[in-house]
Amino acid sequence: MTPLNLTPALPEIFVLALACVVLLVEAFSKKPEWSYTLTQLTLVGAGAITLLTAEAGKVYAFNGMFVDDLMGDVLKLVSYAAAIVAVAYSRAYLSERAMFRGEYFVLVLFAVLGMMVMISASHFLTLYLGLELLSLSLYTLVALQRDSMVASEAAMKYFVLGALASGFLLYGMSILYGMTGSLELTKVVAAVEQGSSSLLAFGLVFVVAGLAFKLGVAPFHMWVPDIYHGAPSAVTLFIGSAPKLAAFAIVMRLLVDGLHPAVGDWQQMLAIMAVLSLMIGNLAAIMQSNLKRMLAYSTIAHMGFLLLGVLADSYAGYSAAMFYVITYALMSLGAFGMVVYLSRAGFEAENLDDFKGLNARHPWLAAVMAMVMLSLAGLPPFVGFYAKLTVLQALVGAGWLWLAVIAVIFSLIGAFYYLRVVKLMYFDAPHANDLAPSGEADVRALLSLNGLGVLVLGLVPQPLLALCAYAIQTSIQ
Amino acid sequence: MNLDYFAELLGPAWLPVWTLAKIVAIVAPLLLGVAYLTYAERRIIGYMQVRLGCNRVGPWGLLQPIADGLKLMFKEIIIPSGASKGLYLLAPVLAMAPALAAWAVIPFTDTLVLADVDAGLLLVMAITSMGVYGVVLAGWASNSKYAFLGSMRSAAQIVSYEIAMGFALVGVLMSAQSLNLSDIVQAQSGGIHQWYWLPLFPLFLVYLIAGVAELNRAPFDVAEGESEIVAGFHVDYSGMAFAMFFLAEYANMILVATLTSTMFLGGWLSPIPGLPDGFFWLALKVSFILFLFLWFRATFPRYRYDQIMRLGWKVFIPVTLVWLLVVAAMLQTPWAYLFH
Amino acid sequence: MEFTSLVFYIFSAILLLASLRVITAKNPVHAALSLVLAFFTAGCLWMLLEAEFLAITLVLVYIGAVMVLFLFVVMMLDINIEEMRRGFWENLPLAALVAILMMVEMATVLGGSRFGLTPPAPKPADYSNTRELGLQLYTDYVYPFELAAVILLVAMVAAIALTLRRRPGRKWVDPAEQIKVKRNDRLRLVSMAPQKPAAPKAAEEEEA
């Protein structure tokens, strides 16, 4: 029995405590504004704590179940920021749909807690528990709009498929446990180094399948479009941003931290999934008329790109993947944020047609949206370009030339549907259904910042790139 | 004692026989206690309501319980034609069995206990939690609306109050640092101010009241609710089948009273350090709590169903949780001795 | 054969029969009760394996709470068993195949040779399983333990958020308000000067 060292887990403890406070405040005050403010303060406070306790190097706590390293700290900070922005964007949207309730904020906080646990997990058990905490909160968030049939259906699908994925993951973990005799990642990696067997590959297949489900990469991508489409836009906004960071973290923890000796096995699986995702994501997105659905397919493609970075299996590859996922969260927030911002009571600005001629009425919003779209497409000088570039560099550096070529081809195909949105906004006549942004000045400013961030990070990507590289180098042995 | 002689005589069969003898030694006085508890109830409530109560059979009516027992024994057991026969007959047994089984781990004095098991507290909770099946099954198997309503009410009520009861006992085990009932009593030695009713007063109250609710006794007797659903779950029972429910209820009363005495009132310990400890004190405490149960019945009107649920979920559970926090925090301070 | 082995086989037989009854009973209530019996016997088996905490918790949680609520629901349902039985024989071969497969898998795994398992030595009589479990849970495993608790909390929040519907026009009383009522809020005492009844007199006069 070792004495408890709570310091590394201080942010988690803080978020949990404050989430319970929000729950109580909601129960007694009946004023959701308080919950809103408190939630934002909690996230900011957690950010401050994480910043203050951040240090290079790995610190283990709770008997080796919890690990605090720089990669985790950076991902956590970005998660808080994404959650703050997502909650801020959705305020008006939620209050117009009778969802501006304490439960929403509590669930968001618990989802963030789940992500933090996943990001800092170094044990199969905590990995799984964090994943379940996140998933359970997300299922509920999707279903929160009770009177909407689509949302309920989406929640049901999400729940059933999510449970299935958890089952896969658990089954794989149980086989790995049987193989290695430990649930602790550091011990697992030592045991795997002893000798790789066919049973290990068998377990690995299930683990990778479970991860793929959670990441939403092909061929386990079927849930993504339905859930992105069916969920209330504010929830889609949240699901599409921060959880991706946690999903990246869990991939890194499991495959790189825990199963690195079996790299040859999982590289092949990731390669197949990445190619399939790029193909399915980009081709299917072209055919969508609904923006949320289109962005869902684009997510699949982007997650495929992310896998490319991971499977390059080098510091450059991992840090490229990390850079990719952080910038993707930023772009996703911008795109879905615009959908949420342009919606109003009784009207969802989610069809591509709704964006026709946006430039004529709201030129600045159109410009922000255009920046985000061009960045998603991967055009310079936006950040999406550098994200793709670093991944491709790492890939070529690791000798996966053919994969890089495929990735470039599908990115070019994918650029078509992003550019179509830009074309609709700038060159088409305005749609009869006029868009009326809810017009909160702070949200508008935040949205502008988001769009400009895409541009600025594209012009000056070096600091973030260096940070990712440093974080990966100190965190991955 | 000539026990060794018998032990040799019976050989390997000695252990079961001896255990059986001990079981009989517990159950027989218990059943007698149940019989005279009904008598006491009628006399005491009669007194409280300024009437006589039973005074016809024997001197002061003392033979009344025997007469009642004989009457019930010779009555026909009617089985409704639509009833699910097997379950209908099983239900009274299921109600009775846990009420008797839980006595196995109750310590009567520091040496007199049938099974001194380590997790006695948990075992008692597990066994008593099974008592609800008798009520639920009786209501369902009778195939009658009134009976069914009664059993549904009872199921929800018992499940709700079990949580608060469990939390109250968590407080006890935190203070005693043991799940063994004998250890719990020993931990309270040193006089009346060392008994757990004082440091755990809110838990004591919650346990006592939740105990009444678990028993389906007035003022929580909505499962029977004579004025609404006739007699609730046992409306269709007669003769000995009915008597079993009756016995189970009173045996459970004595059980809850004994558990309360053991857990919060120092069991067999004497209130003043100088006096000798012994079974006498336990009997006195049990009698006092039983008297409280009767007093409640004579005094309080029946709770409305939603009020029962409210009390259980929104009052008792928060109260117990808060007090558990207090106890846990206090145990870490220099004043921890107050709670041990 | 030792006495414990005999007890083990008796309990196992009861467990198997009860489990069989769960799936073959015509009446869902009987099936649920058989499940209760199965849980109880499983608890007894665990007790035999010196896992008294798990055994008691199984009884306390599953029999004492979960199955009661389960029965609660099952009793209120009007299930047509024949309807549900349809297709039993068609699906039997597949189900049997899966069951046999699972059995073979478990037999290979639990044989113990793969994992080099040896039966643990029996513990001394005063060994407290409950205490050891508590120590493990609250020291080495406190982090996952707390996380599991948080997950349950989220499940509770989710269940309430998704099902609680505040109906408009619902009538209810707040007991606290009820208790706070003072006599003066409801009752007004009016002092009146004594008056002689006038009407009877008039009637008397009329009679006269």
Say what the pLDDT of residue B3 is: 67
**Measured between beta carbons, which residues in chain A are less than 8 angstroms from residue C141?**
63
Residues in chain B: 340
C202 within domain boundaries: no
Mean of the per-residue pLDDT values for chain B? 83
A1 within domain boundaries: no
The string of DSSP letters for A179-215 reads HHS--BHHHHHHHHHH---HHHHHHHHHHHHHHHHHH
- Best probe of the B interface among C76, C130, C164, by most B CBs < 10 A, is C130
CA dist., res. A201 & res. A203, Å (int): 5
Structural domain boundaries enclosing A187:
7-475
Does residue B148 belong to the interface with chain C, where contact is any CB pair within 8 Å? yes
Does residue C93 belong to the interface with chain B, where contact is any CB pair within 8 Å? no
**Measured between beta carbons, which residues in chain C are less than 8 angstroms from residue B137?**
33
pLDDT at residue C151 above 90?
Answer: yes
Give chain A's residues under pLDDT 70.
1-3, 195-197, 431-439
Nearest to C130 among B119, B125, B148 (CB): B119
**What is the interface size between A and C, counted as CB pairs within 8 Å?**
68
Does residue A436 belong to the interface with chain C, where contact is any CB pair within 8 Å? no
Residue A146 Cα, gap to closest chain C Cα (Å):
7
Residue B298 Cα, gap to closest chain C Cα (Å):
22
Say what the pLDDT of residue A137 is: 92
* Dihedral over alpha carbons B131, B135, B137, B138 (to 10 degrees): 140
Nearest to C60 among B117, B126, B152 (CB): B126
CA dist., res. C21 & res. C24, Å (int): 5
User: Which chains neighbour A (Cβ–Cβ under 8 Å, 3 or more pairs)?
Assistant: C
The string of DSSP letters for C92-148 reads HHHHHHHHHHHHHHHHHHHTSTTTT--PPPPPPTT--HHHHHHHHHHTTTHHHHHHH
Provide the domain count of chain A.
1
pTM of the model: 0.85
C203 within domain boundaries: no
Mean pLDDT of C84-105: 82
Which of A40-54, B24-38, B187-201, B257-271 comes out lowest in average pLDDT?
A: B187-201
Write the ipTM: 0.89
Does residue A66 belong to the interface with chain C, where contact is any CB pair within 8 Å? yes
Residue of B nearest to C173 (CA): B307
Does residue A97 belong to the interface with chain C, where contact is any CB pair within 8 Å? no
- Answer yes or no: are the C-beta atoms of B148 and B225 closer than 8 Å: no
A435 within domain boundaries: yes
List all residues 6 or more positions away from C202 whose beta carbon is below 8 Å from its beta carbon: none
Provide the domain count of chain C.
2
Alpha helices, H only, chain B:
3-10, 14-48, 64-74, 85-101, 120-129, 132-141, 145-176, 181-187, 201-214, 226-229, 239-264, 279-299, 305-310, 317-331
List all residues 6 or more positions away from B188 whose beta carbon is below 8 Å from its beta carbon: B176, B194, B195, B196, B266, B267, B269
pLDDT at residue C116 above 70?
Answer: no
User: Of the residues C62, C79, C96, which one is the last residue of a structural domain?
Assistant: C79
- Best probe of the C interface among A136, A144, A145, A184, by most C CBs < 10 A, is A136
SS3 A290: strand
Chains B and C touch (3+ CB pairs under 8 A): yes
pLDDT at residue C97 above 70?
Answer: yes
Same-domain pairing of C60 and C2:
yes
User: Of the residues C41, C61, C79, which one is the last residue of a structural domain?
Assistant: C79
pLDDT band of C119, cuts 50, 70, 90: low
Residue C112 Cα, gap to closest chain B Cα (Å):
31
A66/C172: higher pLDDT: A66
pLDDT band of B61, cuts 50, 70, 90: confident
Say what the pLDDT of residue A1 is: 45
pLDDT at residue B214 above 50?
Answer: yes
Window 22-81 of C, Cβ < 8 Å to B = 27, 29-30, 33, 36, 52-53, 56-57, 59-60, 63-65, 68-69, 71-72, 75-76
Tell if the CB–CB gap between C143 and A65 is shorter than 8 Å. yes
The CATH number linked to C19 is: 1.20.120.1200
Does residue B310 belong to the interface with chain C, where contact is any CB pair within 8 Å? yes
DSSP state letter for B179: S
Mean pLDDT of C35-41: 91
Residue of C nearest to B151 (CA): C72
Same-domain pairing of C75 and C135:
no
The rounded percent of chain C whose pLDDT value lies above 90 is: 10
C103 within domain boundaries: no
A92 within domain boundaries: yes
A2 within domain boundaries: no
**How far are the Cα atoms of A461, B150, C93 from residue C169, in angstroms, in the given order?**
59, 29, 55
List all residues 6 or more positions away from A11 whose beta carbon is below 8 Å from its beta carbon: A46, A49, A50, A53, A76, A116
CA dist., res. A117 & res. A129, Å (int): 8
Does residue A133 belong to the interface with chain C, where contact is any CB pair within 8 Å? yes
Nearest to C143 among A20, A62, A106 (CB): A62
- Name the token pair of B202: 């809110």
Structural domain boundaries enclosing C25:
1-79
pLDDT band of B23, cuts 50, 70, 90: confident
Tell if the CB–CB gap between A130 and C139 is shorter than 8 Å. no
- Best probe of the A interface among C150, C156, C164, by most A CBs < 10 A, is C150
Say what the pLDDT of residue A408 is: 92
Tell if the CB–CB gap between A136 and C150 is shorter than 8 Å. no
C205 within domain boundaries: no
Say what the pLDDT of residue C89 is: 78
C187 within domain boundaries: no
pLDDT at residue C152 above 90?
Answer: yes
Q: CA triplet C51, C55, C61: central angle to 5 degrees?
A: 145
Tell if the CB–CB gap between C57 and B137 is shorter than 8 Å. no
Nearest to C56 among B119, B132, B133 (CB): B119
**Measured between beta carbons, which residues in chain C are less than 8 angstroms from residue B307?**
175
- Best probe of the C interface among B87, B93, B122, B174, by most C CBs < 10 A, is B122
Tell if the CB–CB gap between C68 and B152 is shorter than 8 Å. no
